[in-house]
Structure 1
Amino acid sequence: MALSQRIIIVDDERAVRSGLSNLLHSDGYPTRLYESGEALLSDDDALSEAGMLIIDVGLKGMSGFELFVLLKQQTALPPVIFISADPEETTLWYAIALGAVTFLRKPIDVDTLLTLIRCELSRGEAR
């Protein structure tokens, strides 16, 4: 299955969703935005053309980790980057143990994020 370049952003902070979306659009990536895991799960077509997901760990309602586990059970999941303001080192290791590409702390270094996205999406296209 060839992945599209669409990036799904799940974050309960409107400013973060908007800022990430603007950044990614300026780099040529279409996005879909969701304020919660529940909102993403209620959209049957959400993952149909997803090339990558960026998920906040500390969502209202179900956590980003809970969302990830549910999605992984339902479908072949594109690469996932977790983001969070949580300073705990264990959060990073848990995200990696679940199978995420990486974990980035807020505020996010945009150069690092874009480099990771380009690398992962080009790797997906090569498959």
Structure 2
Amino acid sequence: MSSKSDKKITIHLIEDDVSQRDSIESLLAFKGFITKSYSTANDFLQTLPFERPAIVIADIQLPDISGVDLHRMLMEKNINPPIIFISGEASIQESIDAMKQGAIEFLVKPFEIDTLIAAVNNAIKIELKEINLNFLLKNLSPREFEVYNLLLQGLNNQELIDKLHLSLPTVKQYKSEVMRKLKVNSLSKLIELAR
């Protein structure tokens, strides 16, 4: 059963096979998801930039642009919703390329309904976490954002003092402000939030 927050997420489905597209779309609608469908990558690209939260389900073998190339184009535009690839006869190389590029799932047709729904639910979790993190990061001042990035790189207090030319009390103050604003209480939680 999908929760209320799922309803706000739009699933962009890019599939050129009409019967496949219709069957996936009606399944997702039945599960209560909002779905927008496209038969080509270019049709989908006309909608940019689209509202988030969103996830993308794309066939690897599209008539105009491959799913992997479409994903790369989105990333170049700094649009990076979670993406699930589907394919009829995926080569090992295609699936490796897709996963290396950050696809969260690669499903080979015909796939089980449960497998697709599990992938969609996983994508939604990732997307909502990302949206939440971006929302929280907007509360950081430019200096706090800098401290946040340095903390993610694993810098300790002394390295922060050297890098930022600040005193220990000031460094500690920035660290505690970053953690307070991101609603975490430890460095490990901060790293987990950003992962």
Mapped contact 2:53–2:127 kept (Cα < 8 A): no
Out of 39, 50, 57, the residue aligned to residue 60 of structure 2 is 57
SS at 2:74's partner residue? helix
Mapped contact 1:5–1:52 kept (Cα < 8 A): yes
Distance 1:90 1:44, change over 3 A: closer
TM-score, reference length from structure 1: 0.88
1:24 maps to a residue whose letter is: L
Mapped contact 1:8–1:50 kept (Cα < 8 A): no
Mapped contact 2:83–2:123 kept (Cα < 8 A): no
Tell me the C-alpha RMSD between the 2 structures: 1.9
Out of 11, 18, 22, the residue aligned to residue 14 of structure 1 is 18
TM-score, reference length from structure 2: 0.59
2:86 maps to a residue whose letter is: I
Q: After superposing the two structures, state which structure 1 stretch, 96-105 or 113-122, moved more.
A: 113-122
Q: Which consecutive unaligned segments of at least 5 residues does structure 1 have? A: none
CA distance in 1, matches of 2:14, 2:53: 13
| Cα deviation code 1:44-70 (max 9, x no counterpart) | 45x224521000000001111111111
Q: Of the two, which has the highest radius of gyration?
A: 2
Higher strand share: 1
Out of 32, 35, 38, the residue aligned to residue 31 of structure 1 is 35
SS at 2:85's partner residue? strand
Out of 71, 80, 104, the residue aligned to residue 83 of structure 2 is 80
Question: How many angstroms does 1:87 deviate by?
Answer: 4.1
SS at 1:124's partner residue? helix
Q: Which consecutive unaligned segments of at least 5 residues does structure 2 have? A: 133-195
Distance 1:26 1:38, change over 3 A: same
2:10 maps to a residue whose letter is: R
Q: In the comparison of the two structures, how many residue pairs are matched?
A: 125
| Cα deviation code 1:16-75 (max 9, x no counterpart) | 111111010111101000111111112245x22452100000000111111111111113
SS at 1:9's partner residue? strand
